[in-house]
Structure 1
């Protein structure tokens, strides 16, 4: 596969997964989940799906719940997109925002006594 095709498929999967989480999954335990990134393997067989969750304290339990719903999510994705193989979905917590917050806190601490 060309990198451009892989990128287009990843973008399509991200968009469709966002809609699935918004409209099809009605589980109040999950709260607000955002699909932040999707990385698809070159053969389009596997997809790493990065999610951001509002509830930082229970994120591992939320990830477990999403993993339980994985087959239903993949089936729904298969109904929405037209490709030969719907990739195997693997969900991960995207902790980029946590990292950014830590860096900002460090900068604030460094510059606190600049006056």
Structure 2
């Protein structure tokens, strides 16, 4: 029951913050932000808001600063919209999904290149001994 309430509250917070950021903040440092997930503690007192930013490392840093500066205002707006007795505190955490995805894509490219190299070697390979290395029963001459 409590887990269900946490999930509903987290989803509602994610939607409210995303809608508010879509309208824009009056902070020029804010980049193109996507809210990827929200986790709410069991006691519903704290919400960790995960986000990604499209752009350079400098734009990511600027966005982090803009979100930190706007945390109080965003919490107030979320509180008004939620209608709960206690509004959870908000913490903005950069999500590592894009960096992890880039790393995984690089690993997959490397694996594909190695597979192609092995396939190239295999296509020109020859057997070290006979083509069929298994011992076959001898055909005895009928000398009876």
TM-score, length-scaled by structure 1: 0.91
Superposed displacement of residue 67, structure 1: 0.4
In structure 2, do the counterparts of structure 1 residues 92 and 18 end up closer, same or farther at CA, with 3 Å as the change threshold? same
Unaligned runs of 5+ in 2: 117-144
TM-score, length-scaled by structure 2: 0.74
C-alpha distance in structure 2 between counterparts of 1:86 and 1:56, whole Å: 33
- Aligned position for 2:41: 41
- Aligned position for 1:86: 87
Superposed displacement of residue 24, structure 1: 4.6
- Aligned position for 1:102: 103
Q: Give 4+ residue runs of structure 1 displaced > 3 Å after superposition.
A: none
- Aligned position for 1:112: 113
Q: Report the number of matched residues.
A: 115
C-alpha distance in structure 1 between counterparts of 2:111 and 2:81, whole Å: 49
SS of the residue corresponding to residue 112 of structure 1 reads: helix
- 1:63 aligned onto 2:64: yes
C-alpha distance in structure 1 between counterparts of 2:14 and 2:51, whole Å: 10
- Aligned position for 2:137: none
C-alpha distance in structure 2 between counterparts of 1:44 and 1:79, whole Å: 16
Superposed displacement of residue 68, structure 1: 0.8
RMSD across aligned C-alpha pairs, in angstroms?
1.5
Superposed displacement of residue 26, structure 1: 3.9
Q: Which structure: larger Rg? A: 2
C-alpha distance in structure 2 between counterparts of 1:99 and 1:88, whole Å: 28
Q: Which has the higher contact order (CA 8 A, sep 6+)?
A: 1
